[in-house]
Amino acid sequence: MMFREVVAQSVPVSDDVGMSDVLWSKLIGTVPAVLWVAFAATVYFTLRGTIVQRMVPRLTAVRALGVEVELAGELLDRAQDESTTTVTATARRTALGRLEHAADVLRGGKLLWVDDRPESNAPLVELFRTAGMHVDVTLSTEEATPLFRRRPYDIIVSDIDRDGDRQAGIKMLRLLEQYKIDVPVLIYTGRFDPERGVDRRIFAATTVPVELVHYVIDLMERVRLGSL
């Protein structure tokens, strides 16, 4: 009788020991997973600063690029509204594409704009400044002369007719020659007839905003290559 009681009492003890073994086995089995989680967390928090430092500038650059391209499109449209010419959607896209890829070429360029109606050119002036160019605006050859005599410009943009003088722009070309200033000149005007001839000092002439953008990029590419 006593033997049976001892046996009966020993059974629960055996069950407790078995349960403890199972519990420890499960705990031991979870250790590798816990270690992996801890390792991953350590790596993440250790490298998070580096990852953020590398990713944020790229994301910021993409956002900035999108804003710049969008702004350039708006300015180009405003310039087109000021012009009496028409431009195709393809020509607009092409000009914006060149602006996007010519950022390094235009940045730091120096441009002098001579026109007695600066309000008509304001969108393009802002466009080139947004691209990183330094743009000085003057209303006459008299105002422009002291500037181009003492400052090294990369490009001069000029109209032709000013204050009733239909040869004002051409006269400025002769003045540039007189002072031996070899800066390429772009003529941008509302009225230009190439059939009447193009002066030897004129790199190009246009009445179309997108074409002026192309000419400015063309000249700045030459400046960067040292071919001007």
- Using one digit for the tens of pLDDT, what is the confidence trace for 33-77? 555 555 555 645 555 555 444 544 433 333 444 447 788 999 999
For residue 130, count other CB atoms closer than 10 A to its CB. 15
In angstroms, the CA 221 to CA 206 distance is: 19
CB contact at 8 A, 115 and 140:
no
Q: What is the pLDDT of residues 166-187, one digit of tens each?
A: 889 999 999 999 999 999 999 9
In angstroms, the CA 160 to CA 69 distance is: 31
Q: What pLDDT is attached to residue 88?
A: 94
* Percent of the chain's residues with pLDDT above 90: 54
Question: Coil, strand, or helix at residue 131?
Answer: coil
The structure's pTM equals 0.69
Domain count for the chain: 1
Query: Which domain range does residue 67 map to?
Result: 1-228
224, two tokens = 């960067």
The mean pLDDT of 20-37, rounded to a whole number, is 58
Interhelix angle 89-101/2-82, rounded to 10 degrees, is 120
Residue 19 has pLDDT above 90, yes or no: no
* Percent of the chain's residues with pLDDT above 70: 67
DSSP 206: E
Q: What pLDDT is attached to residue 16?
A: 54
Q: What is the pLDDT of residues 78-95, one digit of tens each?
A: 999 988 888 999 999 999
CB contact at 8 A, 159 and 188:
yes
Q: What pLDDT is attached to residue 21?
A: 63
Residue 195 has pLDDT above 50, yes or no: yes
In angstroms, the CA 45 to CA 122 distance is: 50
The amino acid at residue 95 is: A
Question: Coil, strand, or helix at residue 107?
Answer: coil
Confidence band of 218 (pLDDT split at 50, 70, 90) = very high
In angstroms, the CA 135 to CA 189 distance is: 18
CA geometry: angle 219, 165, 125, nearest 5 deg: 35
109, two tokens = 């360029």
Q: Which of 3-17, 160-174, 190-204 has the highest mean pLDDT?
A: 160-174
> CATH number of the domain that 63 lies in?
3.40.50.2300
Q: What is the pLDDT of residues 93-112, one digit of tens each?
A: 999 999 989 989 999 999 99
Residue 164 has pLDDT above 90, yes or no: no
Sheet (strand 185-188) strand order? 134-138, 110-114, 155-158, 185-188, 202-206
